[in-house]
Amino acid sequence: MQWRSLVIGLVVLRLSVSCVLWLAFGLGPNLSLGFNFHLNFNLHKLDLLFREDKDTESKDNSWSRRIHGPKYEETATTCAKAGGEESSKKSFLRLFDGSKDEYARRYSAFPDALKSKMKEMAREMFYFGYDNYMKYAFPEDELNPIDCEGRGPDVLNPSNININDVLGNYSLTLIDALDTLLVLGNVSEFQRAVKLVIETVSFDKDSTVQVFEANIRILGSLISAHILLTDPKQPFGRVSFEGYDNELLHLAHDLAVRLLPAFEHTDTGIPYPRVNLKTGVPPDSINETCTAGAGSLLVEFGILSRLIGDSTFEWVARRAVRALWSLRSNETGLLGNVINIQTGQWVGKQSGLGAGMDSFYEYLLKSYILFGEKEDYQMFQAAYESIQNHLRRGRDSCNEGEGDPPLYVNVNMYSGEIMNTWIDSLQAFFPGLQVLNGDVDNAICLHAFYYAIWKRFGALPERYNWQLQAPDVLFYPLRPELVESTYLLYQATKNPFYLHVGMDILQSLEQNTKVRCGYATLHHVVEKSKEDRMESFFLSETCKYLYLLFDEDNPLHKSGHKYLFTTEGHIVPIDKRFREKQWDDLFPCEEGALAEPEPNNLSHPSNISNCNRIPVEQRFALPLKSVYMRQIDHMVGLF
């Protein structure tokens, strides 16, 4: 794997240079090559955490002092031998001592009875939101869970894009929830809901919506439900019903046609961000769009094209991806987060993994998994390499060595210079994508960081400032990203740790967000004040991933079919209809098939349902050594 060698080479080079400078001039790793902004997490606390002898420890709290101070590896090793140490060290060392370790104790087993209880809790959570939506809000788009009312587009204030980008006056929550009903095994309600959609939903509306949102929440759900309905093997039970005449597919097609004007009159092929469903691109439309918005249409448009035999949709979506890709920086290989669709100039030069960019990366890999187009895989791997080289900071290995835990920061796309000291809650999806790419080690660490933030606030603040150890933006709109990654990591590792994480998430959602008629957006993650809004992704993603985490026997896991989740959590089968080559030809999972990387090639994404990425002996130990868990907890201010 060339990129790995390159990274290792650079690291070795950097260490050698640092060593030489250190020996010759007393200059340490502050003279870095490429990594010229150090993470700085209130380091004096870390020194305290790992200090074994307060009298001899210097009061120097600097990064370089810590680098050359006691090493985590040494600390962990010393801790494992705690029995022979003098008594003054015992209470501290006990924290890291096998059976007595607080983390190992807390996260080890997860009894089956508790799993069933959590599954039930997740089911009830979904129905409390869904039933109240149906009772108080349908046919409007969303439920206001505090006032027990429906919500549609903000017609009085067309510039309220927070609402109007998503709400199109098309029963959004019902459509977005369709396949969750099947995941929960409720065939009759699924059929009733499908019939309601067919009878009542029309896209012939004077609504100006965001192309991306309409695509992932509405189009994605319609094609997912259609595929599940018409699957000849009916893995979710007898879902099909007499008289179904592909109406959901027709609706999806109708919507996609109404989105097509976004791809016209753009000099780059990158689409306009919004369209009016009746009249096309508004005359006063801006020429700027975010990378994720323009570049995350390929999965849904590609499936639609392949289902109806009209390549137009896939073609425009692919042209947009290619255009964005061609505008990446020559120096770093990174893309920015906002672009002018006419000039191709980057308006937002920030490159990160969260808002504005997240699903762009996700869909490069998922498009490849679904359609088998090599181009998508090559783009994804090149992007992943740039991310590892320029966004990732901290120690090289998640579970070994010294230094800060790995973290992905926001950088300038051209220089790789860090731009700010916050990460956002959307980035919490990335460990799930890393699992799909077979990089479980990095996934474990990044997930652990977000989980620590969750533990501190009982939610994820929209933006968290890792330097200040405080939220920068305080709301939490019931987002699914952390539970999505938790679910995928559980599928990859089967480690009970992730069931505990899911239980924590469930319980804090119950405690902090449940209101009279549903679950409400947290306005302030510290004070726990609320906003009267329940976004549709709460039912389509958050509840679905929570339920699936605890339902190991779900047909999704046991039917023998392989499924992929769209970025809105809609399930689509990995089906030979959608690809030239069959899945098993691309990702064989015989014994040892994934052990060695292919020559001259990067490793393929993991087929998480069949392939064992984690050795058996490691499966029930903590995914991350407790010394590192403790380090992360400390870094987010948990103690």
Contact between 359 and ligand DMJ per CB under 6 A: yes
Residue 187: name the closest of 582, 563, 618, 555 by CA. 555
Question: Which of 462, 532, 535, 541 is an active site residue?
Answer: 462
CB 478 within 8 A of CB 145: no
Q: Which amino acid is at 552?
A: E
The Cα–Cα gap between 633 and 421 comes to 18
Question: Which of 481, 532, 568, 633 is an active site residue?
Answer: 481
Residues 6+ apart with CB under 8 A from 439: 384
Contact between 142 and ligand DMJ per CB under 6 A: no
Q: Smallest distance from the beta carbon of 244 to ligand DMJ, in angstroms?
A: 27
Contact between 479 and ligand DMJ per CB under 6 A: yes
Show the binding pattern over residues 365-404: x = contacts ligand DMJ (CB under 6 A), - = does not. ----------------------------------------
Contact between 537 and ligand DMJ per CB under 6 A: yes
Q: Smallest distance from the beta carbon of 84 to ligand DMJ, in angstroms?
A: 50
The span of 79-87, 373-381, 475-483, 578-586 binding ligand DMJ (CB under 6 A) equals: 475-483
Find the binding residues for ligand DMJ in span 151-170 (CB under 6 A): none
Show the binding pattern over residues 563-582: x = contacts ligand DMJ (CB under 6 A), - = does not. ----xx--------------
Q: Which is nearer to ligand DMJ, 260 or 355 (CB)?
A: 355
Q: Smallest distance from the beta carbon of 542 to ligand DMJ, in angstroms?
A: 8
Burial of 202 (C-beta count, 10 Å sphere; 0-12/13-18/19+): exposed
Find the binding residues for ligand DMJ in span 278-317 (CB under 6 A): none
Q: Which is nearer to ligand DMJ, 398 or 489 (CB)?
A: 489
Q: Which is nearer to ligand DMJ, 376 or 462 (CB)?
A: 462
Burial of 559 (C-beta count, 10 Å sphere; 0-12/13-18/19+): middle
Q: Which is nearer to ligand DMJ, 333 or 354 (CB)?
A: 354
The Cα–Cα gap between 55 and 160 comes to 59
- Token pair in block for residue 4: 């790995």
- Token pair in block for residue 90: 């015992």
The Cα–Cα gap between 432 and 101 comes to 27
Known catalytic residue: 213? Answer: yes
Q: Which is nearer to ligand DMJ, 101 or 568 (CB)?
A: 568
The span of 3-11, 233-241, 479-487, 582-590 binding ligand DMJ (CB under 6 A) equals: 479-487
- Token pair in block for residue 86: 């003098």
Known catalytic residue: 47? Answer: no
Q: Smallest distance from the beta carbon of 559 to ligand DMJ, in angstroms?
A: 24
Q: Smallest distance from the beta carbon of 508 to ligand DMJ, in angstroms?
A: 17
The span of 67-75, 442-450, 474-482, 492-500 binding ligand DMJ (CB under 6 A) equals: 474-482
Which H/E stretch holds residue 431? helix 430-436
Contact between 173 and ligand DMJ per CB under 6 A: no
Q: Smallest distance from the beta carbon of 537 to ligand DMJ, in angstroms?
A: 4
Known catalytic residue: 375? Answer: no
* Residues contacting ligand DMJ: total by CB under 6 A: 10
Find the binding residues for ligand DMJ in span 186-245 (CB under 6 A): 216
Contact between 500 and ligand DMJ per CB under 6 A: no
Q: Smallest distance from the beta carbon of 163 to ligand DMJ, in angstroms?
A: 14
Computed on alpha carbons and rounded to an integer, the radius of gyration of the chain in Å comes to 25
Secondary structure of residue 137 in the 3-state scheme: helix
Distance, C-alpha 574 to centroid of its chain: 20
Phi–psi pair at 610, nearest 5 degrees: -115, -25
Q: Smallest distance from the beta carbon of 90 to ligand DMJ, in angstroms?
A: 45
* Residue 492 per-residue DSSP state: H
The Cα–Cα gap between 97 and 78 comes to 10
- Token pair in block for residue 209: 């919506």
The span of 199-207, 300-308, 477-485, 613-621 binding ligand DMJ (CB under 6 A) equals: 477-485
The span of 56-64, 312-320, 336-344, 478-486 binding ligand DMJ (CB under 6 A) equals: 478-486
Question: Cis before residue 261, ω within 30 degrees of 0?
Answer: no
513 among the known binding-site residues?
no
Which H/E stretch holds residue 23? helix 2-25
CB 493 within 8 A of CB 614: yes
Question: Which of 358, 376, 385, 568 is an active site residue?
Answer: 358
Phi–psi pair at 285, nearest 5 degrees: -65, 145
Phi–psi pair at 185, nearest 5 degrees: 80, 15
Q: Which is nearer to ligand DMJ, 136 or 429 (CB)?
A: 429
Residue 415, strand partner residues: none
Q: CA of 160: how far to CAs of 155, 157, 602, in Å?
A: 9, 6, 44
Known catalytic residue: 633? Answer: no
- Token pair in block for residue 41: 């997490």
Q: Smallest distance from the beta carbon of 362 to ligand DMJ, in angstroms?
A: 7
Q: Which is nearer to ligand DMJ, 47 or 176 (CB)?
A: 176
Q: Which is nearer to ligand DMJ, 542 or 607 (CB)?
A: 542
Q: Which amino acid is at 3?
A: W
Find the binding residues for ligand DMJ in span 405-464 (CB under 6 A): 426
Q: Which is nearer to ligand DMJ, 41 or 408 (CB)?
A: 408
The Cα–Cα gap between 261 and 270 comes to 12
The Cα–Cα gap between 277 and 199 comes to 19
Secondary structure of residue 378 in the 3-state scheme: helix
Q: What residues are designated binding site for Ca(2+)?
A: 567
Q: Which residues belong to the active site?
A: 213, 358, 462, 481
Which spans of this chain sit near ligand DMJ (rule: CB under 6 A)?
A: 216, 359, 426, 479-481, 537, 541, 567-568
Residues placed in the known binding site = 567
